[in-house]
Amino acid sequence: MRLKWKIGLLAGAAVLALGGATIVSATQDADWLKTRLADAVESSTGRHLTIGQLHVWILPFPWVEAKDVKLSSVAEDGVNMLDIGQVRARLALLPLFSHRIAFEDVSLISPQMQLRRLADGRADWHFTPQERQSSSGSSSSSSGKMHWNLTVSDLSLTQAQVAWHDAVHHRSGAFQVAEGKVKGLSGNAPDFDIKLRKGVGQLALTGQTGPLLPMSAQLPMQLRISLTVNGHPAGMAHIDGSITDPQGQKVYALQIGGSVAQLRDLNVFFPHANLPDGRNVSVDMAVGGQGAQPAPQSLHVRAENVDVGAWLPQAALTRVVIDTAGPTDPVTAQIDGQVGAQVLSLRGTVGTMQQLAAPERVAQQIVPVDLTLTQGESSIHGTGTLSAGASALDVHGQLAHVVPGGDLPAANDLKVDGHIDIADTASIVRHHAAPDVLRGARGAMDIQAQSVNWQGVTWAHVSTHATLQNSRLTLEPVQAEGNGFQQAGRLVYDVAGALPQIELAAHPVFLPLPVVERWLGLSSSLSGTVQLVGAVSTQGETPEERRNNLDGHLGVSVVDGSVSGAAIRTLLGPQVPVKGKMPVRCFGSHMQFAQGNANIDMLGLETPFLVLHGHGTVGLSSQTLDMHLSPRVLLGGASASSDVAVTGTVSDPKPRMDPAYEGRYGISIGGNDGEGDNCPSMLSAAREGVAGPDAPQKKAGKEGKVMNMLRGLGLFQ
């Protein structure tokens, strides 16, 4: 028995001596361990590991410290996937005897990581062990090198900086790993506790997976994600299931879901997403498939109060429900919302999950679309095909009321019937301003409405035929009844060139004055309903450009409206004591637009106290004035008149007395202002002989106010 004990003691001493000799050798020559670490990493990942400095200590326990550690990227272009300033780890001794380097409690201090997917599809997170690269006839052992395995049990890191760039999908970003711990990394159930930070947001990842080092044939996972913004809970997510053959075919069987209370909070983590306001957004999906493209098998989306005004002005979605039970089942949509004050619902189907989940193949796939826009018992139905490339849609139906709100017109019993083709749908989704849509689409549509109201002006039996071809939208004819007259017009909006080209024809057309003034960028002086007769064309993207490039002829008339006191003072001088609004019996003007000027051959205005006639020129770009006016102030049964010349600019007019043909200045007082009516002839000239509403009857004058006006003009003291 004592002999056996002595033999065992001698054997133990020999083992300790051999191990001690190995360890002493390692402490004296750290390059020994450095070389084996580099070989082990390259063997298991296919990447190059370089270590600047490596130190090994025995006391108080075996541990190593490495500095300036670098792991190459898949591109091998000098940009490292991983740069670590300092690594500390405990070193297990016994595994060294079996050619295995086993680290415990590995600590990475301030690592810098750059994750890239190259344009050819290669990615830094895809590793190719050398055993997979080698043919069956060659191995590391045959090269004369001793193969060493590398294992890591527990891993922690602090203040890590991570940046990623995807050249395939043109995405990039960066975040900070404030703290990360992985326990049992070389075991059967690694446990994760990682905190990511992005600005005022934090993402905490916890959970377990199956074996990672080495990776097993079946990789189960159970992960939880929680989001906080400014220290307050913002949302949560989960990933459950497994990946079979994760290093080969990669067969997915996962359940993924998550929810956020405020959709906009995700902008903290994805600052370029520009996500809108939205509440109680949740997504649940099953993921299957295999290979590099995992495929959603089912999808359920819920959301409330989503603001989509960036894509459709004044629009918001009060409820969103999107469902599909399987990859080949239709994706159903139930969306309730409103545009301005208009409450609408959208119901229908858009392709299948199998078609929509592979964006790189959507351009070649024909996705069927069947959607119905409803309002109460009325609806507009659209059917057709959709893809990232060409799309086509047939539209027909009727809505009882269309009230978009804001400055837009409202319609009753709106009917549409037509067809639309889009050559590049993805481009229009990315750039959806009106000119972009007109350039990318073509089609024809008949539009009718029982009535339309726009800022107090009402039309009945409105109809038009709209065609869109070669970036040119034409509405011809536009017909309606309103103000007791049949109206007709034509509109052309052409965006084929560098600047939008616009053509308008009116025979006649009645419009609210504020709309015309805003479209031309003019100050609001007259109010009422304006009757337009003529044909004009222009080009430009801004009101100033459109105004400066006007060409054609136009007659403008208003009856029973009002004019601002500021406009009267602009024409006759700042001393005219007119405040607020002055009633207008009739206003008429006829002008020719050419070469940057508005040549006004007739201008007339009649109020209870003032009758004005004149002509002249206005520079459309310079705003210079060359007007010759004949104002006549009504004095009950008499009147006072004089000729006035107005020069300067629209913003700084210079009125003065205009000499008669013999060079004399004069004021005429007397005459009878009660005889004759100037409005019919004035309106006829402005309307180019087209019929229109009559001016209201004259009302009795108020001499007191008239005398105040004369005193303001300096005619009486």
Nearest-angstrom CA–CA distance, 151 and 716: 107
Q: Are the CB atoms for 69 and 76 separated by under 8 Å?
A: no
Nearest-angstrom CA–CA distance, 362 and 213: 38
Q: Tell me, what's the pLDDT at 673?
A: 52
Nearest-angstrom CA–CA distance, 562 and 607: 9
Which domain does 179 fall in, by range?
27-120+148-186
Nearest-angstrom CA–CA distance, 129 and 120: 20
Nearest-angstrom CA–CA distance, 632 and 635: 9
DSSP-derived pairing of the beta strands 625-635 and 100-109: unpaired
**Two structure tokens written together for 154:** 């527990």
Q: Tell me, what's the pLDDT at 635?
A: 60
Beta bridge partners of 334: 321, 347
Residue written as token pair 């837009």: 408
In a domain, 52, yes or no: yes
In a domain, 270, yes or no: no
Q: Tell me, what's the pLDDT at 430?
A: 81
**What is the pTM for the complete model shown?**
0.71
In a domain, 264, yes or no: no
In a domain, 89, yes or no: yes
In a domain, 436, yes or no: no
Q: Are the CB atoms for 83 and 52 separated by under 8 Å?
A: no
In a domain, 49, yes or no: yes
For the beta carbon of residue 125, count every other beta carbon within 10 angstroms.
10
Nearest-angstrom CA–CA distance, 570 and 573: 6
* Residue type at position 214: P
Q: Tell me, what's the pLDDT at 687?
A: 94
Q: Which of 479, 485, 488 is nearest to 461 (CA)?
A: 479
Q: Tell me, what's the pLDDT at 679?
A: 92
In a domain, 101, yes or no: yes
> Which stretches in the chain have pLDDT values below 50?
1, 3-29, 132-144, 661, 665-666, 674, 703-704, 714-717
In a domain, 87, yes or no: yes
What total of structural domains would you count in the chain? 1
The DSSP 8-state label assigned to residue 368 in this structure reads E
